[in-house]
Amino acid sequence: MARITYIEFGGKEHVIDVPDGATVMEGARDNGIQGIRADCGGACACSTCHVYVDPSWMDRLPPPGAMEEDMLDFAYEPDPARSRLTCQLRVSNALDGLVVQMPEMQS
Ligand code: FES
């Protein structure tokens, strides 16, 4: 399990305990958090689960795969230094304390 902080674009914070094996996207979707749409249901085919990862976490996450890299090009205002697709981030206790911020909108 990992305690993850999701910050809406407007600044509202949600601190959620997400079970191991779920994705960061599912942690948001299953708790009704606004700002992550996940239109494709986690298939890495839509980019509407885009977030900005807190800079202190970028080096601690597994690097994005080729499909995620490609889909991030379609995200709304991606930032190469801190953008990730949450459906590609699998939760384990290694992600405990992760902080992600939603963009102003999803593409
Ligand atoms: Fe569609 Fe992540 S949910 S790319």
Taking the C-alpha atoms of residue 82 and residue 101, their distance in angstroms, rounded to an integer, is 10
Q: What is the pLDDT of residues 44-97, one digit of tens each?
A: 999 999 999 999 999 999 999 999 999 999 999 999 999 999 999 999 999 999
Please state, in angstroms and rounded to a whole number, the distance separating the CA atoms of residues 25 and 87. 5
- Of 30, 68, 85, best ligand 1 pocket probe by most atoms within 8 Å of the beta carbon: 85
Mean pLDDT of 17-22: 98
Average pLDDT over residues 26-37: 97
- The answer to whether the pTM exceeds 0.85 is yes
Q: Residue 62 has what pLDDT?
A: 95
Compute the distance from residue 92 Cα to the ligand 1 centre, in Å: 19
The whole-number pLDDT of residue 107 equals 86
CATH fold of 2-101:
Ubiquitin-like (UB roll) (3.10.20)
Where do the structural domains in the chain lie, given as residue ranges? Answer: 2-101
Cα of 12 vs centre of ligand 1, distance in Å, is: 22
